[in-house]
Amino acid sequence: MTRLSAATAGALPYDRAVVKTGVVHLGIGAFHRAHQAPVFDAAIAAGDPRWGIVGASLRSAGVRDQLAPQDGLYTLVIRDGADERLQMIGAVRDVLVAPEDPAVLVELMASADVHIVTLTVTEKGYKLDPATGRLLTDDPDVAADLESLAAPRTAPGFIVAALARRRAAGLAPFTAMSCDNIPHNGARLRDAVLAIAAQHDRTLADWIAAHGAFPQTMIDRIVPATSLDDIIALHDRTGQCDQGMVKAEPFTQWVIEDRFAGPRPDFAAFGVQLTSAVAPWEEAKLRLLNGAHSSIAYLGGLAGIDHVDGVVALPEARAFVEALWDEAEATLNPPAELDVAAYRAALMARFANPALQHRNRQIAMDGSQKLPQRLVAPIVARRAEGLPVDALALGVAAWMRWQIGRDDAGRAYVVDDPLAAVTADRLAGLDDPADMVRALLSIDAIFTPDLANDTVFVATVTRHLSRLLSEGALATLNAWKSI
């Protein structure tokens, strides 16, 4: 079987030999390869070779082992129903596995050619309490980085160590750009970095605060995990085995706060929106797209439906999603350029794309980290106005039901979440829905004390959870209109 590599790939539209490493990406999973990397690739192809990427994995060697034999090359497979488009991406020059040699990564991030450090480390990678934004000082990796940065363990720790070296070398800081789905991602990253820096050297923290740049971003592209079937299908089509391939929908959007510490590509030329106000974009995307996604994932997962498109194929599920969007939309202050009605219609079509095979269980992961910005925030906003939250509360109830670890047919699954032990502990021995709701609402990393005491909200969630437990997710959706 022929493996994709520089020797077997067709010609790229640029000479890889002259490409420099201008970007270090922390957390090089499928999302980076399908979202930011194609933009840097386009910049290189347009004649600016400064924007090659070295990716780093902060935990496992999986991506390095996929990409190293392929000289960093991989195919972006863009799927829209029956249409499929292939794009070879050559921007990734190398992949480092941080724990194997943390110093090598720090040294690279401290080099003069590197101007931007991007991150997709998922919500939990920022080591911040999702509800309060405080650094999780009890986390062993955070504690280690607070003790010493000789061999950093966390993404913010690596950034602090590299910025310290840049400062000592008389270099400007790089721009540190979070590309994760967390609200105010730039400010959160900055908070985590400054908290760790201040522990080591107050003057370093001051220098970062004065000269560093942590732009806020909104990132959007549906990028389901690659399956073995995807790799086989691509092989059947191209005759080459590409273990680093990623698949995505055609839609892609990247909104970046125009705040950089140094050079950047001509982002606007490659479809990226630069703006002074990212928050309204981010809030709309988190509450509409991601809020619906999580709710679909838990309800669909409980009903034994594997993929998102299978859920939105059900008219009752669509009705529920529309109701959820009605509720969420009323909490938004959308940017003038965003036509919310058109956005909603396009979103439903994106969810319905049958070629993506986006697994509900993938989206169900890490719910404790996702719920606050996706569902809890719009619920808090509505309840502050005394408004009902029927649909949003069903999303929360479905998440609660999901924590039990068995679907409606009794099939067991692993609750993949950093707080799984906490939710399991709170639910232990309970079977009354009202008790279960009370127990889970008291987790203040997810919910606010006000919500836990809001009798309307508590009653609505309890009603939904009772029905989910007694009749299952499909029946609950079926009954949606009459609830």
* CA–CA gap between residue 224 and residue 250 (Å, rounded): 13
Residue nearest ligand CS2 (C-beta atom): 293
User: Which DSSP category does 137 fall into?
Assistant: T
Q: For the CB of residue 358, give the shortest distance to ligand CS2 in the complex, in Å.
A: 7
* Least Å from the CB of residue 158 to ligand CS2: 23
Contact 222, 248 (CB under 8 A): yes
Burial 200-223 (b: 16+ CB within 10 A, else e): beeebbebbeeebbbbbbbbbbbb
Q: Is-contact 117 176, C-beta < 8 A?
A: yes
Tell me whether residue 87 or residue 290 sits nearer to ligand CS2 (CB atom): 290
324: part of which helix (H) or strand (E)? helix 315-329
- Gap between the Cα atoms of 287 and 373, Å rounded: 7
Residue 374: CB minimum distance to ligand CS2, A: 8
CB of 363 to ligand CS2, least distance (A): 4
Strand partners, 135: 128
Distance CA 302, CA 138 (A): 33
Q: How far is the CB of 220 from ligand CS2 (least distance, A)?
A: 4
Cβ distance 37 to 67 under 8 Å?
no
Q: Which is nearer to ligand CS2, 167 or 221 (CB)?
A: 221
Q: Which is nearer to ligand CS2, 146 or 363 (CB)?
A: 363
Q: Which amino acid is at 409?
A: A
Of residues 242 and 366, the one with the C-beta less far from ligand CS2: 366
Chain residues that interact with ligand CS2, rule: CB under 6 A: 181, 220-222, 289-290, 293, 362-363, 370
- Assess contact for 159 and 213: CB atoms under 8 A: no
> In whole angstroms, how close is the CB of 309 to ligand CS2 at the nearest point?
13
Proportion of the chain in helix, strand, coil states, percent, rounded to 5: 50, 15, 35
What's the closest the beta carbon of residue 31 comes to ligand CS2, in angstroms? 7
By beta-carbon proximity to ligand CS2, the closer residue of 114 and 363 is: 363
- Looking at the Cβ atoms of 238 and 369, the one nearer to ligand CS2 is 369
Burial status of residue 414 (CB atoms within 10 A of its CB: 0-12, 13-18, 19 or more) = exposed
Nearer of residues 70 and 181 to ligand CS2, judged by Cβ: 181
Q: Which is nearer to ligand CS2, 245 or 289 (CB)?
A: 289
3-class DSSP state of 277: coil
CB of 293 to ligand CS2, least distance (A): 4
> Cβ distance 196 to 157 under 8 Å?
yes
